[in-house]
Amino acid sequence: MNTTCQRLYQRWMKFPGLDEDLKQSLRSLDPAGIEEAFYRYLEFGTAGMRGLIGAGTNRMNRYTVRRTTEGLARHLEGRGEAVKQRGVVIAYDSRRKSPEFAEEAAGVLAFHGIRVHLFPSLRPTPMLSFAVRHLQAAAGIMITASHNPAPYNGYKVYGEDGAQIPPHQLKAILTEMEGIQDELTLPVLSLDEGREAGWIRILDPKVDRAYTERLHTLSLRGKKKTNGDLSIVFTPLHGTGNLPVRRILEELGYTGVQTVPEQEQPDPEFPTVTAPNPEDPQALDLALKQARDQSADLVIGTDPDADRLGLLARNRTGDYVAFNGNQIGALLLQYLLEKRKERGTLPENGVILKSLVTSELGRSIAGGFGVSTEDVLTGFKYIAEKIKEYEESGRHTFLFGYEESYGYLPGDFVRDKDAVQTALLCCEMAAHYKDKGLTLDEVLHGIFEEHGWYREALFSFTFEGKAGLEKMASIMERFRTRPPGVIGGLSVRELKDYQQGIDGLPAANVLKYRLEGGSWIAIRPSGTEPKIKFYFSVVAPSEEEARTRLDRLQRVVRGMLED
């Protein structure tokens, strides 16, 4: 066993103040388990820090939270008293230990004399982003592991613009964290001590109301009488989306909303799903069953921190069509641009922002309306960074940002993906087309007829632990250094290695094979899960040809991996 791992393990075992449950967890570890728990400090990835809940430096626990918050606190202290007075907003979701971790973070900041604005109960991630901006705070903390399985929790840091901090800003916090000698002995105030000293303030409902009022400004349809004719089944998947989604839909006249009873209440065990991820079709099975029983028009589902949304819609024959993340983005984009053009509110310098592993269909749709499209690295912080840049320069007017992984942002009063905004606009879009006698799959069919038949797929392989990281590195190295000239009968026109810092983007461990005819394959290790992901996108003149190309590409790449 690594001597550093053994040293850290012994330090934790001998610490007199260690929680009893963490001590029990440590006692149960074998040598391999000790190494997994202590071979590193839990790291920030694409969307914050996520890890298994448990004992160890590579796990989510109160000491990991204290160490991370200590780094943030020292960084904020270095920026002066005014920054400390503006303070930090803290929110948390429905996961195991989320409230406790939020209180730990608040206590560390309070000890440093930094004001804390703490939500009184669970809230979606986008509401944390909104609150940072609304309260003009210096930073924000969100305790969440988003859509990961129940054993995980995590920690996201937001800057004063309400966006997750990008790598160059994170570096300053990481430098402060590296100077911490012992995460177990960091000083912290209790919640009561922090409140009595005046450093911790519990937020009142005014912030929630302000967020809902901004949601109203997104509506391109308003409280139309026929909104009540749309039948909707909604599931928050045991998370934070229930109240805010239902609130805005009710206020805009969508009276035909029913929630899935088994998934309505917050539950950190997520007992009805394998993983609470709307990207996984099985996560929406209960909602789909309820929709079929009631012949509902629409199914929407949000993940635990309500930043991702899944969508299904009833078609002409009464079956339900599940739309993937690229297709939801295309439908929303078509609707938003169509309506803004109709109203005369489409700016000449409009821009759409998307991740570089998101379908090019969005670029084609935007181009048809005279709107530019720009690619960014995976991670909504990069979309937020561009929004800020254009806000300051005036070069572009932001219209929509999205990723293929079911994350969308129509309104820039939030600077992270927002499933509450998206739920509102999906229902509005469905009601709009229903008034015109169209189903959503018919609208999508029309988009394909105009722009080409785009098809996408994603598969991933999970590699846990230290050995898993090494395996993923070897796969990336193989595809980076020995690129094939032809894949699935399509010639490779270009291999784009984003580790080289190309296309004006920061360096990132992403490969993208550009193939003939506009098809492409991208490969990247996940920044938040122990997975390596393979993305496929094809475009063809017909649906059948697109499906054939996509199937062939996936078969060939899987074969390469097996070899």
Active site residues: 146
Rounded distance, CA 280 to CA 12, Å?
38
Within 348-466, strands assigned E span 350-355, 372-376, 397-403, 407-409, 453-462
Q: Are strands 407-409 and 397-403 parallel, antiparallel or unpaired?
A: antiparallel
| 510 Cβ neighbours under 8 A, 6+ residues apart | 356, 357, 377, 378, 498, 499, 522, 523, 524
Between the two ends of the chain, the Cα-to-Cα distance in Å is 32
Question: Element (H or E) spanning 494, and its range?
Answer: strand 490-497
Amino acid at 234: F
Residue 544 tokens read as 């059948």
Q: Report CA-CA distances (Å) from 392 to 93, 387, 396, 535.
A: 32, 9, 10, 33
DSSP state of 370: T
Cβ atoms of residues 108 and 69 within 8 Å: yes
Rounded distance, CA 2 to CA 35, Å?
7
Q: Rounded to the nearest 5°, which phi and psi values hold at 314?
A: -75, 135
Sequential DSSP letters for 122-154: ---HHHHHHHHHHTT-SEEEEE--TTS-TTEEE
| 530 Cβ neighbours under 8 A, 6+ residues apart | 462, 463, 464, 465, 468, 469
Query: Which phi-psi region, left, alpha or beta, contains residue 162 (left: φ > 0; alpha: ψ -120 to 50)?
Result: left
Reported residue count of the chain is 563
Amino acid at 444: L
Rounded distance, CA 535 to CA 531, Å?
13
Cβ atoms of residues 514 and 521 within 8 Å: no
Cβ atoms of residues 241 and 300 within 8 Å: no
With CA atoms as reference, report the closest residue to 440 among 279, 258, 432. Answer: 432
Cβ atoms of residues 453 and 543 within 8 Å: yes
- The gap from C-alpha 366 to its chain's centroid, in whole angstroms, comes to 23
Amino acid at 211: Y
Cβ atoms of residues 252 and 280 within 8 Å: no
Helix, strand, coil % in the chain, rounded to nearest 5: 45, 20, 35
Rounded distance, CA 348 to CA 369, Å?
10
556: number of Cβ within 10 Å:
17
